[in-house]
Amino acid sequence: MVHYKAPLRDIRFVLEDLLDVYSRYKKLPGFEETTPDLVNAVFEEAAKFSEEVLTPLNAVGDTEGCQLIDGEVKTPTGFKEAYQEFVAGGWPTMEQPVEFGGQGLPLSIGLVIREMIGTANWAWGMYPGLSHGATVTIFDHGTDQQKDIYLKPLISGEWTGTMCLTEAHCGTDLGLLKTKAEPNDDGSYRISGSKIFISAGEHDLAENIVHIVLARLPNAPEGTKGISLFIVPKFVPGDDGSPGERNGVSCGSLEHKMGIHGNATCVLNFDDATGYMLGEPNKGLRSMFTFMNVARLGTGIQGLAHTELAFQNSLSYAKDRLAMRSLTGPKNTDGPADPIIVHPDVRRMLLTQKAFAEGGRVLIYFAGTLVDTVDKSTDPAKREEAENLLGFLTPIIKAFLTETGSESANLGMQCFGGHGYINEWGMEQNARDARIATLYEGTTGIQSLDLLGRKVLGSRGKLLKPVTAQIIAFCKEHRWNRDMRPFVIPLWKSVKRWKSLTRRIGFSALRNKDQVGAASVDYLMYSGYVLLGFIWAKSAYVAQQKLSSETSTDKDFYQAKIQTAEFYFAKILPRTATLEATIKSGSKSLMAMSEDNFTHH
């Protein structure tokens, strides 16, 4: 019974009113023809496909799951037909390079389409989603021959891609991986080893699967400095590029997961499989970061998707479900009880979901504009600025939005009360599907160490400074605006504390490096809450300007933006006070206990 309606009005607000993307596109070579009429027509069709084709398959995928039969994976009923329709419609080609069969739209537009698809059916959306990362990695690091062979079928959707990193004994610490790559006389390599947790690793949707695999050459240096990257196709392409003989890669088993059952998460065995080096020897991890960064943005979209799905369904339920009377008097006088949306605690849950969904949407779409700038700008300074900002934001997008996505999915269940854990409503599936997003592509803890250790302290504050400076400049610009003071004053104070906490952690880490690990997750969440505070303050300002315009339409829409911003500053941003206290508490309480004393015996 889960339903989804693409939030096209809010998408237009973010792209046009907040980010002014069409002015940006005019300054980027190749994007000048990206007009609102074109983009909105694409969004309308993407919404239709997501709502009518993919949403009904969401519960089907969860109930049926994938089946491994004689080494081949059968996807749930309707998945293959939906994928064929997806390919026939040209959807995989949208933001891909024109020279390889793509349509050349900005990535920021592609992210919107991926949000719609992912919210409608995350498990299905992962199949084409992983292909995008494989495409970008080959485009950035492949030889001309590799690009000629692999990019066109990947971009068209005839083939799909995967990312093969993890092994049973190593997840985040990839320096421990054991998969081997032995050179052949013809320049190819024999790949041998096993990879686990490979999403979309085997399926019946496309005629070939292109695995991007980390492996170790003979006599390679120990650790991460001895890792190389390889293309390992399921079927080795012939001279004409068509799939040839079956390669030595097979699905050993399907993982039994708590959620995302419609996507095949595989153990893949490589037995002298033919592979082709991608990039330079022993520099594979650096090349793989291209794929991993794309995947981290994609996982941020997953957090947004589960938030949006929870919000839409719990909102409609809260308007219909009758229970008790409002404490301020009956609101549904003709009925036996009031709809539960009148109760303050239900509104707390709904507004939390709404604030995270609409705020997170801005954060992800903004990141998309940064990718556009990195890819297309002719100004080296602007490219560097965008790349630095993207590097800073990526771990926050991945970790903060998946943590709030999991929180929102659980709030969605809570709004349904007892019906929330009954699977026919779809909310318990949404909660199960959301939970994995905080784990894969680097856990929240790993993303937090990346943010605080590498991006902030590692750059000596260089990457943080322009972010805080931009927020403070906004606060100064609007500090005398009476309507904006409820937003800019607490936001300004939060940014000052953000800078102070950063200095405090940096100084304490000089004496004890465990202080970084002790503070990192709280620091990332603090950063996320402040960034969303900035987004909501800007959203409120734009909405105020729209309401004061004589030609303004959608007054209820803009009023809701202001009221959601008021809620965020009253009920969500104050979470930073607790995080400030826990950050300041340091590592002592974490590290004092001996390992033996952890036992309860």
User: Catalytic residue positions?
Assistant: 441
β-bridge pairing 180-183 and 189-199: antiparallel
Treating both helix axes as pointing N-terminal to C-terminal, what angle do 122-141 and 79-88 enclose, rounded to 10 degrees?
50
Query: What are 319's two structure tokens?
Result: 């308007």
What gap in Å lies between CA 122 and CA 86, rounded to an integer? 15
Structure tokens at 522: 């709280």
Token match 């809010």: residue? 10
Tokens at residue 423, please? 């699977």
Distance CA 12, CA 297 (A): 20
3-state SS assignment for residue 66: coil
CA distances 574 to 125, 360, 491, 524, 525, Å, are 35, 18, 10, 15, 12
What is the phi/psi pair of residue 572, to 5°?
-105, -50
The residue count of the chain comes to 601
Q: What is the DSSP string of 316-370?
A: HHHHH-B-S--TTS-S-TTSSS-BGGGSHHHHHHHHHHHHHHHHHHHHHHHHHHH
Residue 328, both tokens: 């301020």
CA dist 297 and 441 (Å) reads 10
Residue 88, CB half-sphere, CA atoms under 13 Å: how many?
Answer: 8
Distance CA 279, CA 229 (A): 7
C-alpha to C-alpha distance for 353 and 418, rounded to whole angstroms: 19
Query: How many C-beta atoms lie closer than 10 Å to residue 469's C-beta?
Result: 12
**In the beta sheet, which residues pair with residue 68?**
73
Instruction: Give CA–CA dist 145/231, Å, rounded.
Output: 12
Phi and psi dihedrals of 157, rounded to 5?
Answer: 95, 0
Half-sphere exposure of residue 138, counting CA atoms within 13 Å on the CB side? 34
